[in-house]
Amino acid sequence: PSQLIKRQKHHFQHLESLGVDVIFGCNGFIWVGCHVEPPADPTNPQKMEVDEKPQSVGTVELEVRGNICRVANAMKTLGKLFLPIHAHSVLKVFELSVSLGMAAKDMLGNAFQTKVLEMEVDRRKGE
| Sign of the CA dihedral with 2 first, then 79, 29, and 68 last | positive
100, 106, 125, 5 alpha-carbon torsion, rounded to 10°: 130
Q: What percent of the chain has pLDDT over 90?
A: 52
- Better pLDDT: 57 or 124: 124
User: pLDDT per residue over 50-88, tens digit each?
Assistant: 445 555 667 888 999 999 999 999 999 999 999 999 899
Strands, sheet with 20-24, edge to edge from the N-terminal-most edge strand: 12-15, 20-24, 30-34
This prediction's pTM: 0.80
Q: Is 13 helix (H, G, I), strand (E, B) or coil?
A: strand
CB atoms within 10 A of CB 19: 16
Q: What percent of the chain has pLDDT over 70?
A: 83
